[in-house]
Amino acid sequence: MSSVIPIRTETTGCTDVTPLVERGQREVFCGLTGIIWLHRKIQDAFFLVVGSRTCAHLIQSAAGVMIFAEPRFGTAIIDERDLAGLADVHEELDRVVNQLLARRPDIRLLFLIGSCPSEVIKLDLSRAAERQNQIHHPKVRVLNYSGSGIETTFTQGEDACLAAMVPGLRNDTSTAPALMVVGTLADVVEDQLRSLLERMRLQVNFFPPRNSQAMPTVGPNTRFLLAQPFLADTARALQSHGAQHLPAPFPLGVEGTTAWLQAAASAFGVAPEMFENATAAPRQRAEKALAVQRQVLQGQRIFFFPDSQLEIPLARFVHRELGMDLVEVGTPYLHRQHMAPELAWLPQGTRISEGQDVDRQLERCLADAPDLVVCGLGLANPLEAQGITTKWAIELVFTPIQGYEQAADLAGLFSRPLKRRTKLAA
């Protein structure tokens, strides 16, 4: 019953690729945007941005309608008095944090989040966080990280957030190796991956947890798998606690998920038969579901604008499992080590670009006339108006896409705009 994925022959890969590095206007989100999914993942955490009205406006625009459901994020807007002298900023912050915690007594973890304005005026938020910690201990823990645009791009905000939590993780003193999966995943995906790993008799902790009171432990026996490609700092912080990174492709598509699970299975000595037993059924199911999508997407030419660092794994998936042709794969930042297994799977000669000069990239895009463009919301409608079909990239961060059961859903995200175009044209 299992249909075989027509893996292409040109698998010499892009390991040694020299990306096209560009500087210029970057049409990307800042790291503050990460708050939008992180506040839903860690349910007893509050995300307080210390920034300007622009920061508040950004989160509310990006969060759309959702903000009204008593959000677990907000902004302490810096005003003139704060700029006049740094002396009373910490007192101001005391006041705002008190006001906030009185309003939301259920909060157990508070993030003070740096923004461009707070970074530029060199507001010492780590000291502020320490101070707040002393004031509100033990009821509330206060951490800080930067989600500023000058330092982070979109999903890097999650990296900064998770990295800030790592030093507070309890040390794992047990001698048996333990598995940790790092990166925010949809609850349904988390449950599926946990169940797959448990079928291989592997116990797994997920980081970040759904509740700040359920933090995993970390130590020299921790082996971690990255579920997301944008976690460079988090990985480094975990490694500094002695944890070992298990290199793997990312769990997108059938191949990616299998290889990702295999990396854990190999590290923990899972017998091949047990791995096969655990994965065979969902794998075949996913392949069958993907075959339907492949009929729409095979041979279509796709162009990725940089957005989330998910672009390279996504490009690998759409190329190898759906037969799409890669025109350009843009990424805001290329972490060669974490991306190595992915790069090896890309067809040789793929045009990979790092960074952005949006006007020139748009010129290239229009000249290449791809069938589908993955880009941000600032570019999507303008490109559609020029007759180019787009898939807006942020949806890929807000949708369950990892694992076997989601492989066809992920493909569906790419095929839907093309189907729609055909339908409306008919």
Binding site for other proteins (CB under 8 A): 24-33, 50, 52-54, 56-58, 60-62, 64-65, 67-71, 73-80, 82-83, 89, 92-93, 95-96, 99-100, 102-104, 106, 116-117, 119-121, 148-151, 153, 359, 376-382, 384-385
Q: Quick one: 29 or 250, whose CB is closer to other proteins?
A: 29
Strand intervals (E) in 274-324: 301-304
Shortest spacing between CB 381 and other proteins, in angstroms? 5
CB nearer to other proteins: pick between 76 and 265: 76
In whole angstroms, the minimum distance from the beta carbon of 365 to other proteins comes to 13
Q: Which strand (E) or helix (H) includes residue 109?
A: strand 109-114
Q: How far is CA 273 from CA 75, 258, 278, 282, in A?
A: 53, 14, 9, 15
Strand residue runs (E) in 253-408? 301-304, 325-331, 352-355, 372-375, 390-392
Query: Which two structure tokens, joined as six digits, stand for 387?
Result: 């007759």
DSSP letter assigned to residue 321:
T
245 token code pair: 């990174």
Q: Are 375 and 396 in contact (CB under 8 A)?
A: no
- For other proteins, give the closer residue by CB, 167 or 382: 382
Least Å distance between CB 117 and other proteins?
5
- Amino acid in the structure at residue 140: V
The answer to whether residues 356 and 332 touch, using CB atoms and an 8 Å cutoff, is yes
Q: What minimum distance in Å lies between the beta carbon of 232 and other proteins?
A: 15
Nearer to other proteins, 36 or 169 (CB): 36
CB of 135 to other proteins, least distance (A): 16
- Please check whether residue 357 is in contact with residue 24, taking contact to mean a CB–CB distance below 8 angstroms: yes
Q: Nearer to other proteins by C-beta: 150 or 271?
A: 150
In the complex, least distance from residue 256 CB atom to other proteins, rounded to whole angstroms: 29
Taking the least distance from each CB to other proteins, the nearer of 44 and 325 is 44
The CA distance from 33 to 30, in Å, is 6
